[in-house]
A and B are shown apart, each in its own frame.
Chain A
Amino acid sequence: MKKILFIEDESALQKTLSDYLKKEGYEVISALDGESGLRLAQTQKPDLILLDLILPKMDGFEVLRKLMENPGTKEIPVIILTNLERMEDIGRALELGAKTYLVKANYTLKEVTEKVKKVLEQ
């Protein structure tokens, strides 16, 4: 079973997307802030990380940068899942090494799950 780490501070979103992904047959571990997300990425070695950008304690850009710097975690594909939509944010996240950038408001759970599947297949 593929393991997904979902770093997101909005608990309602944590619940809905986690439930959906679990139904689709994934194992989901949750982090509600950047720091614990980074720690879980290092200890749990997930197959994929879903990362929000606006997070308490450490923002998503910083988490992404630290993930990419660490040889133990830099191979884990990261999907950004956020509501920030400015070109500079998208550019910055992709430059730092994110695989895909999804704007929550424009995607359904089904579509997010499909993207997850696609990235895991790569």
Chain B
Amino acid sequence: MLKILKKIFNALNPLTPCKKYGLSVWECPQFLFLLIGIIIIGVILATYFIAAFKIGDPFMVSLIVLMIAAILIVIDYIITNSFERIAEASRMKTEFISVVSHQLRTPLTNLKYSLEILTSRNFREIGKKEKEYFEILEENIKRMGDLINDLLTVSRIETGRLPLKKRMVSLEEITKKIIQKFKSYAEAANVKVEFEAEKDLPRVSADPLWLEQVVENLLDNAIRYTKDQGEVKIKIYKDSKRIYFEIQDNGVGIPKEEQKFIFQKFFRAQNVLKYQTKGSGLGLHITKRILELMGGKIWFKSKEGEGSTFYFTLPIKRS
């Protein structure tokens, strides 16, 4: 109950958004607008009483009104300045993304391309031992590249700049494609992937590239966190309003006390770190945000040591 009241108060509190931008009370447009409103109401009432009971002189009344108008103009000026600061903060955030993407990616691209030359077949023969080290380099360059891409995606989502190109796509076809892509990875991990889809599933309105990313993240997690002899079952079905995607594994599961953090940025469960040290802790966060942008939902059931089942839905559009 107290929590709900706190939430309502936070939503109504005009200072909440200003805290995010580091603006003080006297620079906060939301607060200042409220203040102006109160001043205007107060002034109208005061002017009425002054004019009616104290001063009958229209000249004096006008003078008072003018003075108060001047105060309002000063407040307006402060508000305009604050908006500029907010715009500046947003611009700096965007600039940061651009700088990070360019500055971090440039050296990484150089590493990647140099390695590609060293390992390309028409260059020279590579010994077995050398090859192993080249593979370590390649894998880590890819990991860092993926991490930069994930960070950029998170920043874009947060600044509302993630470009979604929606069209009608088949979730079933996308899932099949991703399963195919993960075939050798699943075999190497000794995990069997089963797939089942209801007949006559409608298409959904979504950005195919991002939907692929969602399915890929979920399947990658399911395989990654399943021990040997594992099984991953994927099902797609529908009701009248939504299409459902279900992915079940018999892997390590998520400890109960950590379940509430699972979609948070950079969160990684303790038991998972014992099996797998790789992973940025951004995959599920991105997955959730992308699904929400496409009108969907995601949730899961999990028991430590027995496995997890993740579900997501996407709305079916009626034509």
In the complex, the answer to whether B117 meets A83 with C-beta atoms within 8 Å is no
**What is the 8 Å Cβ interface bit string for chain B, positions 140-184, against chain A (1 contact, 0 not)?**
000001001100100000000101000000000000000000000
In the complex, the answer to whether B101 meets A10 with C-beta atoms within 8 Å is no
Question: Known contacts A16-B117, A19-B117; is A54 also within 8 Å of B110 by CB?
Answer: no
In the complex, the answer to whether B114 meets A104 with C-beta atoms within 8 Å is no
**What is the 8 Å Cβ interface bit string for chain B, positions 268-297, against chain A (1 contact, 0 not)?**
000000000000000000000000000000
CA distance A47 to B98 in the complex (A): 31
Contact of B106 among A16, A83, A110 (CB under 8 A): A83
A20 at the interface (CB under 8 A from B): yes
Contact of A13 among B98, B101, B109, B120 (CB under 8 A): B109
Residues of chain B contacted by A17 (CB below 8 angstroms):
113
In the complex, the answer to whether B113 meets A105 with C-beta atoms within 8 Å is no
**What is the 8 Å Cβ interface bit string for chain B, positions 67-79, against chain A (1 contact, 0 not)?**
0000000000000
CA distance A85 to B105 in the complex (A): 11
Question: Known contacts A23-B122, A85-B152; is A109 also within 8 Å of B110 by CB?
Answer: no
Question: Known contacts A109-B117, A110-B116; is A12 also within 8 Å of B110 by CB?
Answer: yes
Q: Which residues of chain A from 39 to 65 have any CB-CB distance to chain B below 8 Å in the complex?
A: 54
Residues of chain B contacted by A83 (CB below 8 angstroms):
101-102, 105-106, 109
Residues of chain A contacted by B116 (CB below 8 angstroms):
16, 20, 108-110
Question: Known contacts A83-B105, A105-B105, A105-B108; is A12 also within 8 Å of B117 by CB?
Answer: no
B303 at the interface (CB under 8 A from A): no
In the complex, the answer to whether A16 meets B114 with C-beta atoms within 8 Å is yes
B203 at the interface (CB under 8 A from A): no
Residues of chain A contacted by B109 (CB below 8 angstroms):
13, 83, 104-105
In the complex, the answer to whether B163 meets A87 with C-beta atoms within 8 Å is yes
CA distance A84 to B95 in the complex (A): 11
Besides the contacts A23-B122, A105-B109, what 7 more A-B pairs have beta carbons closer than 8 Å? A12-B113, A13-B110, A13-B113, A104-B106, A108-B112, A108-B116, A110-B116
Q: Which residues of A contact B (CB under 8 A)?
A: 10, 12-13, 16-17, 19-20, 23, 54, 83-87, 104-105, 108-110
Q: Which residues of B contact A (CB under 8 A)?
A: 98, 101-102, 105-106, 108-110, 112-114, 116-117, 120, 122, 145, 148-149, 152, 161, 163
